[in-house]
Amino acid sequence: MDEDQPQADYLEERYSSELLQEFHGLRSSSNAHQRGHKLEELLERAFRKAHYRVVHNARIAKPRQTDFAVTSRSDRYLVEAKWEKDPIDVSVVGGIRDRMSRTDASVVGVLMTVSDINTEAAQDIVVRRDRGLVLVFNEPDILKVLKDPHELERLLRQKHDELVIHGRLDRGIRSGDKEVRRLGRRKELPGSHFKLIDTVHKPISWFGGLGDFSSTVFALGLPDIDWVSGSGSGVSLDMPVAAWNQIELIDLLHELSDTGWMTSQAHWSIKQHGWNWHGTGPKAFVQALKDWKRRTEGLRDPHHSEEFAYLDTCDGGFYTISGSLSAGSERQLLRCNVSFQLTGIPLDPSPLQHLYARFEAPRRGHFRPLVERSVTRGRLHRRVPLDVVGYITEPEKYGRSNQDWVVGIAVTNPFINDATDAPEYWPSQLRESGVLVCDLRSHHPLNEANKSYELVSFEHAWTSDAQALRLCADW
């Protein structure tokens, strides 16, 4: 075993590869009957690993024979496994329905076929679903199940909802396809509560400066999930997102917005080789993603990908979205993870469950208790002068003057590439960042923005793969 590979990852890989290896070993078999029988056996084992009760050669549809039946606490399935040379036709679907007609009406049929199904059979399943529901697993679905049997519960639910609610047959992602979700008519994402302006008070879309790849994102406020009356620790939850490209990343943002977890005070960063961009608000984040050509056209040696980190609040805590996009016209999403930090396990986890189902998170989520406080704080023993490169403002809250107040500043990093001069516990990820975004402890009107600013303190919190930073300055 590779010493750098965590033991849990190694065991999971070994566990999930057993069924897959046996499946791939069947491809060379010339005995179609034996191959189909072995496929049935592998699928039975997968269902058992997913904690379903499996009955082989069940008499559920007596006198007709059924490959096997599957039950859980709330669901019952009649499963037929096929590995034929040609796509499944409507006669096979009719046979499954005939078996289902001899059972209770709550039983759902499941057709698991390596050879997929033809168009007539697919249309029959959709049009005649009043005769009984038949869910279809094609080869990519089967491979996914054999790799991780816990995918079964999510896939069954997803295929059931697609057939019943939308009247469509979910046939997974076929080889060579890139399934793209269309946003349709969605509510517009929130704009930014803040305005970003440069030193001559001209509005700008984002702050830009020297930098390299890192998982940091600046914030004017950092929620403290430990600031509660009860004892104990907070919890974390990760949602690795199964998505193809930038379109689906934006779809994720809309889903979070529909849940009420997108706010106008969000913060984000996008990182390229040699240059970084920092901004606020979901709408501006999407615009920055779409404007990748304009952002990168002046770079001397852009990397083939760019990284992003987004920070926002949600019920009971905060979350980050971090990942990597290819820096080309295809805008392929190379990786994406949503990581939550919450004060505790929600009494109603349904919004989180919806996100898991919607974005095909590849394994079941688990709340993990934090072993230490979420937010780490540090104070500078001496005040560090700052050179301002931009301002963050918001409208006056209580007065009637309609003037903007400075609530944050963008500054040149006083410790860039100089770790010896940095304060103790200073985040090492900031060593190559040319620009820092700081919260301003004492606000002032924009027309008084000629003050001398100093860095006084900092705090940061880690999610599983992103670091949220609140740097505090004063004047």
Over the stretch 214-241, which tens digit does the pLDDT of each residue have?
A: 889 999 999 899 998 888 889 999 998 8
> Residues of 351-382 as b/e, b for ≥16 C-beta within 10 angstroms?
bbeebbeebbbbeebebeebeeebbeeeebee
Phi, psi of 470 (to 5 degrees): -120, 110
pLDDT at 58: 60
Q: Please give the full DSSP string across 17-55, using - where no structure is assigned.
A: HHHHHHHHHHTT---HHHHHHHHHHHHHHHHHHTT-EEE
Q: Please give the full DSSP string across 218-237, using - where no structure is assigned.
A: E-S----TT-SSS-S--EEE
Burial of 297 (0-12, 13-18, 19+ CB in 10 A): exposed
Scanning 328-390, the segments in alpha helix (DSSP H) are: 350-358
Over the stretch 308-348, which tens digit does the pLDDT of each residue have?
A: 999 999 989 999 999 999 998 889 999 999 999 999 999 98
Give, as one character, the DSSP assignment of residue 420.
G
pLDDT at 419: 62
Burial of 146 (0-12, 13-18, 19+ CB in 10 A): buried
pLDDT at 60: 57
Cα of 329 vs its chain's centroid, Å: 22
The CATH classification of domain 14-165, taken from the options 3.40.50.720, 3.40.1350.10, 1.10.760.10, 1.10.20.10: 3.40.1350.10
**80 to each of 93, 288, 424, 454, how far by Cα in Å?**
10, 48, 63, 70
H/E stretch holding 13: helix 7-26
CA-based nearest residue to 143, from 301, 263, 26: 26
Low-confidence ranges of the chain (pLDDT < 50): 1-15, 173-184
Which sign, positive or negative, has the C-alpha torsion 294, 300, 304, 307?
negative
CA-based nearest residue to 289, from 318, 332, 258, 320: 332
pLDDT at 93: 93
Given a contact cutoff of 8 angstroms between Cβ atoms, the answer to whether 356 and 239 are in contact is yes
Q: Where are the domains of the chain?
A: 14-165, 184-475
pLDDT at 241: 86
How many whole angstroms separate alpha carbon 449 and alpha carbon 204? 17
pLDDT at 7: 40
Given a contact cutoff of 8 angstroms between Cβ atoms, the answer to whether 318 and 462 are in contact is no
